[in-house]
Amino acid sequence: KQEVTQIPAALSVPEGENLVLNCSFTDSAIYNLQWFRQDPGKGLTSLLLIQSSQREQTSGRLNASLDKSSGRSTLYIAASQPGDSATYLCAVRKYSGAGSYQLTFGKGTKLSVIP
């Protein structure tokens, strides 16, 4: 059974700092990995999707890396801003049979960027 772990559970940083969020998964036979952002009481916003054949993806100040063999991904946020404060979720997609590709989520890292 796929398990996804995110460390730390919560992180507080001063504005302008660069930071790294970690995600690990137990089964490396994944199809892709996705990072999401969730604001309080809201749904999920997709940030980056990394295919299993890729090593990293970049979007603006965000960079996500994937090391499938070791079961790890990192989300790097450069020059953090108060607007980056949210919970960041990592999810891996794996074939689960009968044409089904299932997402398994970590519990998230709650980020607070202090002005």
Applying CB under 8 A, the residues found at the interface with another protein are: 31-32, 34, 36, 41-46, 49, 51, 89, 91, 93, 96, 98-108
Which of residues 76 and 105 has its CB atom nearest to another protein in the complex? 105
Minimum CB separation of residue 10 from another protein in Å reads: 13
In the 8-state DSSP scheme, what is residue 98?
Answer: T
Any idea which residue has 């990995």 for tokens?
33
Q: How far apart are CA 49 and CA 32, in angstroms?
A: 7
Distance CA 33, CA 48 (A): 8
Q: Least CB distance from residue 65 to another protein, whole Å?
A: 17
Phi, psi of 84 (to 5 degrees): -80, -10
* Minimum separation from the CB atom of position 41 to another protein (A): 7
